[in-house]
Amino acid sequence: MKREKLSAKILAWGLSLLVAAGGAAPIYAAQEQATAPASKDETVYVMTREDGSTDRIIVSEWLKNMGQRSLLKDYTELKKIENVKGEETFDAEKGDGTWNAEGNDIYYQGEIDKELPVDMRIQYKLDGKNVSAKELAGKSGDVEIRFDYTNNQKQGKVYVPFVLLTSLALDNEIFTNVEVTNGKVINDGQKSLVVGYALPGLEESLNLSKEDVNIPDHVIVTCKAERFALGGTMTVATSSLLDDLDVGSIDSLDDLNSAMDQLESAASQLQDGSEQLKTGSSELSKGTGSLFSGTKTLKAKIAQLGSGLKAAQAGTAKLKSGAGQLKSGAGNLETGAGQLETGIGQLETGAGRLVTGAGQLETGARALQGGIKEVSSGVDSAVGGLDQTVAGDKAVLAGLEQLQASGQQLGLNEQQMAVLNGTIEKLKAGLNQTIAGQQAVAQGLRSGKSGLKELEAGAGSLVSGSSELKDGSSELKSGTGELKTGANKLKGGSSQLKTGLASLSGGTEDLYDGITAACQGAGLLEKGAGDLKDGAQKVNKGAGTLATGARDLASGVAQFKSDGIDKLVDAFDGNISKVSGRLKELQDAAADYQSFAGKKTETKGSVKFIYKTDEI
């Protein structure tokens, strides 16, 4: 009965430490904080290949500034150090340096290439034959997955007591008949959660044989697979199993039982906490389901935003081009308005000259009209005078003919008559030509008088037209004055328009640049929303796994008790002295192993390892 009670206490103690592994931090009273040393909480993420070999190691450090110092000394072996939560800087030389903490805690991470304290090897079998992970992918049959752990961290005669918990989530549509050695299988109807444990090096550290007790250093999972696919495995390793156990005075089972009483209260708290974990993880699973749904909607809306921004970008590109053209056109308009104002000024001057010319034209037209009338009257007088002259010339001609006829009566001889006749004939010929010319001139004057009448009528029209031209040019001159005023306003308005369009053009360029930047930001936001959706989905799956694990925590505790602790107590057979010294060495080794990536000597530390394998 005493052994069963002792086993239960050891189990409760061990699990309480595993649940809190790496999460505890030194606690100081307020008055001691100013002088309290810094502490470092370290998580080592080991990214492994499908066979368990190390691919990359990333270490996350939480340097706790208990004294809220401005400068915080630190030592680290990490490379590519990045402050992940603040702007504090690290001045370091060969890993030894100072953080400009300004009273804050420091959160940073980096990479390291170093031998791990525990190596993990994973082997696969299909229908009893060894295969690689790539050969197993997509195949169907009986599958075996074996995890072997090797403890490389020895201190004196003992190994640092690492406890490793390995978990796999197996889809029930792919895997059936799932079993595990050194672990527990939990089936929630959709998937089987496999949790296995191992304590590599502990059997050797306690100087026990497998006949005494079988302390596992491996985990074996067997199942039947249909088109094998595995989303990777997760293994947590911690060395804090013996941190809180007082083994300094343990020489018998009674002493061990007394030491276990110190942790009975912690075991009760573990039981209450596991119930709270069960309830909280169930709520977490529901909440992460809502989160995943919300991130899907967020991603879709951000994609719509990106499409809208792209359309806006195209529209603003056209607006930018149009604004540039408007700006250029406004410049041309301003120039044209200036030229128009100048031309209207010239038109106004011309209109004034036209008014003067029209007045002079009217005066001349009236003078022409009067002169034509005078010429017409003179033509009438000239025609009358010519008619009288023609009549006189005809009378002279008649007298010459009478003279010629009466020449013999005058007693002229023949010679004289010949001379007289010759002279008369010449005179008659001349008179006839003169009469003909006078008659032709008179006829021409009469014909010219008809043209003068038309000219007189035209002069009258010219007088009327020049008067109208004078009136119209006066109105034109008045209108050009108003036009000149309007052109001046147009010039001023076009100048303001040019200035405004210059601002518009600049604004559209800024708008285009802003929308372009927004498009780029929307692309990054959409990618981030996608990552958030994927992360929320993983969190949702993880929350479901956590809820399942919490529901079956009590069952796992019972198996751990029966498979490990009871056998260990039986192996002691009432004599604890042969292992009490080793237990103290194990506790010292666990207490001494406080960092993987390095720390200052005066800095208290805690470290845990998380191994994540690639998916298959």
**Rg, Å, the chain Cα set:** 62
Is residue 499 located within the same domain as residue 616?
no
Distance CA 582, CA 588 (A): 10
Tell me if 255 sits within 8 A of 249, measured CB to CB.
yes
In the prediction, which pLDDT does 79 show? 93
Contact partners, residue 593, CB within 8 Å, separation at least 6: 117, 153, 155, 160, 239, 607
Mean pLDDT of 181-210: 90
Distance CA 53, CA 148 (A): 12
Comparison of pLDDT for 301 and 75, the residue scoring more: 75
Is residue 503 located within the same domain as residue 599?
no
Is residue 358 located within the same domain as residue 473?
yes
| Closest among 309, 294, 293 to 523, alpha carbons compared | 309
Which of 165-174, 243-252, 325-334 reaches the highest mean pLDDT? 165-174
Tell me the CA distances in angstroms from 252 to 108, 283, 514, 569, 574, one per residue in order.
46, 46, 78, 11, 7
In the prediction, which pLDDT does 367 show? 80
In the prediction, which pLDDT does 267 show? 41
Residue count (the chain)? 616
In the prediction, which pLDDT does 544 show? 59
Is residue 365 located within the same domain as residue 472?
yes
313 lies in some domain: no
Is residue 346 located within the same domain as residue 481?
yes
Give the model's confidence band at 31: pLDDT under 50 very low, under 70 low, under 90 confident, else very high.
very low
Position 503 pLDDT exceeds 60: yes
In the prediction, which pLDDT does 270 show? 44
CATH code, 506? 1.10.287
Q: In what order do the strands lie in the sheet with 39-48?
A: 79-83, 106-111, 54-64, 39-48, 604-613, 234-238, 163-171, 191-198, 183-187
Q: Which amino acid is at 606?
A: S
Distance CA 604, CA 26 (A): 8
In the prediction, which pLDDT does 286 show? 64
Position 568 pLDDT exceeds 80: no
298 lies in some domain: no
Is residue 352 located within the same domain as residue 477?
yes
Is residue 488 located within the same domain as residue 361?
yes
Contact partners, residue 260, CB within 8 Å, separation at least 6: 6, 9, 10, 13
Q: Which two tokens stand for residue 586?
A: 């194990």
Is residue 490 located within the same domain as residue 383?
yes
Global model pTM greater than 0.75:
no
Position 180 pLDDT exceeds 80: yes
Q: What percent of the chain has pLDDT over 70?
A: 73
146 lies in some domain: no
269 lies in some domain: no
Give the model's confidence band at 447: pLDDT under 50 very low, under 70 low, under 90 confident, else very high.
confident
In the prediction, which pLDDT does 577 show? 60
In the prediction, which pLDDT does 258 show? 55
Q: Which of 458, 484, 510 is the endpoint of a domain?
A: 510
Comparison of pLDDT for 608 and 292, the residue scoring more: 608
93-102 in b/e form (b: 16+ CB < 10 A) is: eeeebebebe
Give the model's confidence band at 369: pLDDT under 50 very low, under 70 low, under 90 confident, else very high.
confident
Q: Which of 510, 534, 563 is the endpoint of a domain?
A: 510
Position 48 pLDDT exceeds 80: yes
165 lies in some domain: no
Q: Which domain holds residue 112?
A: 37-117+593-616
Q: How many CB atoms lie within 10 A of CB 245?
A: 22
240 lies in some domain: no
Q: Describe the crossing of helices 264-405 and 553-560 by its angle, rounded to 10 degrees.
A: 140
Mean pLDDT of the chain: 77
Q: Which two tokens stand for residue 98?
A: 């100072």
Q: How many CB atoms lie within 10 A of CB 12?
A: 23
Which of 207-216, 491-500, 569-578, 589-598 reaches the highest mean pLDDT? 589-598
**Total domain count, the chain:** 2
Distance CA 598, CA 238 (A): 17
Name which of 197-211, 274-288, 440-454, 580-594 the model is least confident about: 274-288
Distance CA 538, CA 242 (A): 33
Give the model's confidence band at 493: pLDDT under 50 very low, under 70 low, under 90 confident, else very high.
confident
Torsion 425-431-434-438 (CA) sign: negative
Q: Which two tokens stand for residue 406?
A: 């009466």
Tens digit of pLDDT for each residue in 196-252? Answer: 999 999 989 888 777 767 789 999 999 999 999 999 999 999 987 666 555 555 555
Q: Which two tokens stand for residue 360?
A: 């002079």
124-162 in b/e form (b: 16+ CB < 10 A) is: bbbeeeebebeebbeeeeebbbebbbebebeeeebbbbb
Q: What is the 3-state secondary structure (H, E, C) of 427-444?
A: HHHHHHHHHHHHHHHHHH
Torsion 592-151-115-608 (CA) sign: negative
In the prediction, which pLDDT does 254 show? 55
Comparison of pLDDT for 312 and 536, the residue scoring more: 312
Q: Which of 510, 527, 542 is the endpoint of a domain?
A: 510
Secondary structure class of 82 (helix, strand, coil): strand
Is residue 367 located within the same domain as residue 479?
yes
Comparison of pLDDT for 187 and 412, the residue scoring more: 187
Q: Alpha helices, DSSP H only, in 562-610? A: 566-572, 577-592
Tens digit of pLDDT for each residue in 253-281? Answer: 455 555 444 434 444 454 455 455 556 55
In the prediction, which pLDDT does 540 show? 59
259 lies in some domain: no
Tens digit of pLDDT for each residue in 519-562? Answer: 777 777 667 667 666 666 665 565 555 555 555 544 444 444 45
Phi-psi region of 128 (alpha: psi -120 to 50; beta: other; left: phi over 0): left
Secondary structure class of 468 (helix, strand, coil): helix
| Closest among 159, 157, 78 to 118, alpha carbons compared | 159
381 lies in some domain: yes
Comparison of pLDDT for 189 and 449, the residue scoring more: 189
Is residue 353 located within the same domain as residue 478?
yes
